[in-house]
Copies of this chain bind each other. A is one copy, B any other.
Amino acid sequence: METKKQIVSSTPEPTIRRLPMYLSYLKNFLSDGREYISAPHIASDLRIDATTRTKDLAYIGISGKPKIGYSVPVLINYLEEFLGYNRNDLAFLVGAGNLGTALLKYEGFKNTGLRIVAAFDNDTRKIGGKIGGVEILPIDKLRNMIERMHIAIGIITTPEGVAQSIADMMIGWGIKAIWNFTPAIIKAPEGIFVENTSIYSNLAVIINKIQNQ
């Protein structure tokens, strides 16, 4: 197990970001009834150069057989294991507005290890109800719930202006990773990981490409 952990921790971030793409691609491939895939086939379909593809797959600890290639079900299994889809990683979500609601109802998480076990909001019309099967609780329950359930992941889908103060509370009460969907820049102490899903950054790149066409 220790060896596996070391392999995992040394995996570069760009590789980790690409792995769900491999997984999605391979699941489609398998659903077409094909059991083996060659390495060049993967690389060309995903438009990844061969060197990158070889390194990516080496990080998850799998190598293909000469002339046969990779067993697709085995590769899927390795990827799911590596991505933690066989674990249960519990998360709380704060901010049950439009984006929060979309995430709570998001079917895609069912395939992953992420479980959003409760959501928090200050809107009394939402509190006590459920969205996507997840109960909406008042913000003042957040501390007690994080501490009691040892929740590691905090998802922030609040208005931008309160994102930092929600993050500060979450971190103070034991959250280890913040997933920030707001455009706010979240400051966090060493050892706390912040991942941003910034649709503004994506939009900026699109507009730049359009402008230069």
Contact = CB atoms under 8 A, between A and B. Distances in A.
B209 A193 contact: yes
Contacts of A211: 5, 8, 84, 87
A16 B205 contact: yes
A83 B184 CA distance: 17
A155 to B, nearest CB: 9
29 contacts: A8-B208, A8-B212, A13-B205, A16-B204, A16-B205, A17-B198, A17-B201, A19-B204, A21-B183, A21-B198, A21-B201, A24-B160, A24-B200, A83-B207, A84-B208, A84-B210, A87-B211, A89-B207, A98-B102, A98-B105, A101-B102, A108-B160, A114-B207, A176-B213, A193-B206, A196-B202, A197-B197, A197-B199, A197-B202
4 closest residue pairs by CB, A with B = A20-B200, A102-B102, A17-B201, A84-B207
Interface of A: 5, 8-9, 11, 13, 16-21, 24-25, 45-47, 83-84, 87, 89, 98-99, 101-102, 105-106, 108, 112-114, 152-153, 160, 176-177, 179, 183-185, 187, 191, 193, 195-213
